[in-house]
A and B are shown apart, each in its own frame.
Chain A
Amino acid sequence: MINRRQMLSAGAATMVAAGAAAQTRFRDLPEAASTDSPMTQVPPRPSVGVDYNPVVTLNGWSLPFRMNGNVKEFHLVAEPVERIMATGMIARLWGYNGQSTGPTIEAVEGERVRIYVTNRLPEHTSVHWHGLILPSGMDGVGGLSHPAIPPGKTYVYEFDLTKSGTFMYHPHADEMVQMAMGMMGLFIVHPRDPAFMPVDRDFAFLLAAYDIDPGTYIPRVAEMTDFNMWTWNSRIFPDIDPLAVSKGDRVRVRCGNLTMTNHPIHMHGYDFQVTCTDGGWVPESARWPEVSIDIPVGAMRAYEFDAVHEGDWAIHCHKSHHTMNAMGHDLPTFIGTDKRKLTGMIRERQPGYMPMGTAGMADMGMMSMELPDNTVPMMTGWGPYGPLEMGGMFSVVKVRAGLAADDYSDPGWYQNPPGTQAWEWTGELPDHASNDSPETRLTPRPTRDNG
């Protein structure tokens, strides 16, 4: 868990930082905060420095800092971690300060940051500050910007935050392996002017893909395309926290993509506008409405909307395989296959055999059969009306009236008002149109009633 006392003490210490007596103390490294919890930890508003509205990192946390004079100091520790991707599945990854993805670094435009990076990995690393404008020697490309940080060593990055926006950090030394192992984090720079594009709720997450075979714990780092864990902040459905929103809130969702493919992130119930990329804020005149926003590889997008529609709204990557957990891709299609005889034959040898897939794969979402260790079903999750049959990059935006400003807890399932939910028709069915021809057929204009 994030240590709130530590944050408070860091804040308190900063309070006395003005005193000369404290100067020597601050020659030491800031304490490296750490957490072992994969749950969303809502950061407190800053008690020192410039005020800002912290982002809520889904299933993540923000890195505590201390003020050292006018410099904001952070301490990142690159180290092996165990990430609970979902109940029943642990991934042995590399990350920062106890978690993958790493903690979100938050600061304010115009601030100077000093970031200590301690390397507890078995090989060298570096940190690249993706999208930030900074001196060449601070860019974190091992061998190009500076020597890579050897194991056991601590390097210091220090630069001014010249612009606000949505950024991220990740290694740029043995980058393929270290990113495949989960090393990445968000870097949010808030505008100095609190009146600039304020929002009530500001969510953030990173898209990361892993190839962890069912029954194993560690990603196959050499994989390029055939990933099976499609994660938000190294977390998969059904254990990605929902985005709890109070009705009427202005909401921003920030999303960065460090996988090997693009992800069309689709949110139900709303249209929205992209307001920010990792290049900066999008002028209002350049925005257009969307319901899906494609996040390119190695890019970030932030979109905003006014939460006017109450309800439970799915939010997910629109590549349907990305809303599945680990599954086989070499399966024959069993739809329509009569397995009655087969079942008896196979049970001679495998008494536990269950025929599946003959009507589709939804039976997978219903059954809870024994699976290999350390994996979650390919499709899973239950809603108020049945199985959701989802996995991977899927969560729910829960818009409710009257949520307290700092309340991000799960408000439960939405109760649809009477008459606003699909219902079963039990009466006579009218004839339905049908067509067995593959030819183009022109639809006749409707005959207008001119009366």
Chain B
Amino acid sequence: MKPILLTLGTALLLSACDQALIRQGSAPRPGFALVQDSTRHATGQDSVWHLSAAELDANAARVSALVNGKTIGPDRAVQVALMNNRALQAAYAELGLSGAELWGTALGSIPTLNLSVTNLGEEGFARTLEATLTTSLLELATLKPRKRMAEMDFRQAQLEATGATLALAYETRRAWIEVVGAFEAAALIGAAQGTADAGSELAAELGRTGAMNRADQAREHVFTAELAGERAQRKLEAQLAKERLIRLMGLWGSDINVNVPDRLPDLPHGVTARPDIERLALTHRIDLAAGRLELERIASDYRLTQATRMLSDIEIMAGAEMEREDGANGLSPVVDIEFRIPVYDTGNLNRRRGEMTYMRAANTLAQEAVNARSEARSAYAAVTGSYRVARHWQTEVLPLRREIDAEALRSYNGMLTSTFELLSDARDGLEAELSAAEAKRDYWLAEADVSAVIWGSVGGSQ
């Protein structure tokens, strides 16, 4: 007996829906459009997925043009990070892998039909045609849900890629604020040191003329020296903050020749009212979207187990033999369809597992939603509160400090106070400016956090 193997082409099994999945999974940048849309919406910047050496080269040239020797603002920093951070490209590759999985699942495993033709008699016909579908019929039966799950995996990967992109954008924005704030603080310490230097200079001169003893001179000098130490510390902090920004932007080589402004932007005239911040967070947060997807997947799983249970309950073991009785066309096929049901044994247990898994995910998601709303309110409170604090420094404290400076000068003019008191007031004024600058930095960080709570996936900076 010689078996005749007929192979059924897979194409026969592919529906239009499958073809869409395949198109999606096999695209050069599968699922990236969604990442780009979300990124653009959330950050105003473009995300880029480089696939070839040529693209990477072109990108390097563009990045270089954007940063080399340039003074960059926060938007450009984010833009360059999105273009140039290789960890992000790695995250996009994950998305690509997930696309490949989807593609593969949509294609399905290749089903094979084995026909055993026996009893090839003298009549020239096979008397019995025994055919066996060797492919797993279970696989066929569960193909549809598995495709759905692959699709969900793919959607999950899209969310993860989006989340990675937004997290990078957020961290880069924060890093930019921190580095500029650090430079601003260092500069103010430097200005304070200028006044200390002046005090030191005067003390030295008074020592020379005989009007100040060594102890008082040393007091002026030690103050200057201590301030110089603090200034060096602040400069180091600024330098390290800048290096972190450079890391996030993926810069190296000559491109690290990038500058940031000396000071953070002034406070805006007001904080944008966001009465709908909770709704925005519930609508936009990537982590909530991932949770919903997870729930969907579990629900789907649950339906899958029900379907399986149904099948397993029936315990199909069907065979059919067609015998050709007294006829030339008597066909006696043997079709063995065997369903291998691996784990699902009793229906109740499976249902319970499904329900509990679903409930666990649903409750977790519900709490996450509650947290998200609270975080949104917190972030809004933080941004409005820090704005008020920063504004208070700007409009209340600093004008008073300026008045003190002006009065200190008048008092000095009247020979009521000495140069040292003038300098001391000036230093106090700089101290206040430093506090005001820090309050301003805190406001800008809080402002960055607002977009993080609306879009989620902030990588633990909260």
Using CB atoms, name the residue of chain B closest to A346: B198
Q: Mark A351-380, 1 if CB is under 8 A from B, else 0.
A: 011101100010010010111100101100
Show 25 residue pairs from A and B whose CB-CB distance is below 8 angstroms, ordered by the A residue.
A214-B411, A214-B416, A327-B414, A328-B417, A330-B418, A332-B206, A332-B211, A332-B418, A334-B211, A336-B209, A338-B205, A345-B194, A349-B191, A350-B405, A350-B408, A350-B422, A350-B426, A353-B412, A357-B415, A370-B409, A371-B413, A371-B414, A372-B407, A372-B414, A377-B414
A345 B197 Cβ-Cβ under 8 A: yes
Asked if A332 and B409 make an inter-chain contact with CB atoms under 8 angstroms apart, the answer reads no
A378 adjacent to B209 (CB under 8 Å): no
Q: Take A333-B211, A339-B202 as given contacts and tell me if A370 and B418 are in contact as well, using a CB distance cutoff of 8 Å.
A: no
Q: How far is the CA of A334 from the CA of B420 in the complex (A)?
A: 12
User: A residues within 8 A CB of B212?
Assistant: 332
- Determine whether the beta carbon of A350 is less than 8 Å from that of B206: no
**Min CB–CB distance A323 → chain B (angstroms):** 15
Q: How many A-B residue pairs have CB under 8 A?
A: 104
| Residues of B401-431 whose CB lies within 8 A of A | 405, 407-420, 422-423, 426, 429-430
B201 touches A326 (CB 8 A): no
The distance in angstroms between the C-alpha atoms of A169 and B212, with both chains bound, is: 47
Chain A, interface size category, equals: 35 or more
* Contacting pair B410 A353 (CB below 8 A): no
Which residues 181-232 of B have a CB within 8 angstroms of A?
A: 191, 194-195, 197-198, 201-202, 205-206, 208-209, 211-212
- Check A433 for interface membership: any CB of B closer than 8 A: no
Indicate with 1 or 0, residue by residue over A205-237, a CB within 8 angstroms of chain B CB atoms: 000000000110000000000000000000000
Identity of the chain B residue whose Cβ is nearest the Cβ of A327 in the assembled complex: B415
Chain A residues within 8 Å of B, Cβ to Cβ: 214-215, 326-328, 330-339, 341-342, 345-346, 348-350, 352-354, 356-357, 361, 364, 367, 369-372, 375, 377-378
- 4 A-B pairs besides A328-B415, A345-B194, A369-B413 with CB distance below 8 A are A337-B211, A348-B194, A369-B414, A370-B409
User: Which of A346, A353, A356, A370 has a CB less than 8 Å from the CB of B415?
Assistant: A356
Tell me whether B206 and A372 are in contact (CB under 8 A): no
Output the residue of B405, B420, B423 with the most chain A CB within 10 A.
B423
- B414 pairs with A214, CB closer than 8 A: yes
Q: Which of B191, B209, B411, B430 contacts A337 (CB 8 A)?
A: B209
What 8 pairs between A and B have smallest CB-CB spacing? A345-B198, A369-B413, A336-B209, A328-B416, A371-B414, A333-B211, A337-B205, A349-B426
Number of B positions contacting A (CB below 8 A): 33
B211 near A215: Cβ-Cβ < 8 Å: no
Verify B415–A352 contact, CB threshold 8 A: no
**Least Cβ distance of B402 to chain A in Å?**
11
**A335 contacts B209, C-beta separation under 8 Å:** yes
Contact B414 A346 (CB under 8 A): no
Partner of A371, one of B191, B206, B410, B419: B410
Least CB distance, A370 to chain B, in whole angstroms: 5
Question: A353 CB to closest chain B CB, in angstroms?
Answer: 7
A334 touches B206 (CB 8 A): yes
A368: nearest residue on chain B (CB-CB)?
Answer: B413
Q: A334: which B residues are within 8 A, CB to CB?
A: 206, 209, 211, 419
Q: Check A332/B198 contact, CB under 8 A, given A354-B413, A370-B409, A378-B414.
A: no
Min Cβ gap A301→B in Å is 32
- Give the distance in Å from the alpha carbon of A367 to the alpha carbon of B412 in the complex: 13
- In the complex the two chains form, is B409's CB within 8 Å of A352's CB? yes
What is the CA–CA distance of A354 and B420 in the complex, to the nearest angstrom?
A: 14
With the chains together, A352 CA to B419 CA distance in Å? 13
Question: Whole-angstrom distance from the CB of A329 to the nearest CB of chain B?
Answer: 9
Residue ID in chain B nearest A347 by CB atoms? B198
| Contact of B418 with A331 in the complex, beta carbons under 8 Å | yes
Report the minimum CB–CB distance from B35 to chain A (whole Å). Answer: 50
Note all chain A residues with C-beta closer than 8 A to B426.
346, 349-350
Known interface pairs A348-B194, A352-B409. Does A337 touch B202 (Cβ–Cβ under 8 Å)?
yes
Tell which of B208, B418, B422, B429 touches A353, judged by Cβ atoms closer than 8 Å: B422
What's the minimum C-beta distance from B216 to chain A, rounded to whole angstroms?
A: 9
**A350-B409 contact given A342-B202, A357-B415, CB 8 Å threshold:** yes
Chain A hits for B418, CB < 8 A: 328, 330-332
A352→B409 CA distance, assembly (Å):
7
CA distance A331 to B412 in the complex (A): 10
Q: Give Cα A285 to B11, complex, Å.
A: 145
- A213 CB to closest chain B CB, in angstroms? 8
With A335-B211, A342-B205 already in contact, the answer to whether A370 and B195 are too (CB < 8 A) is: no
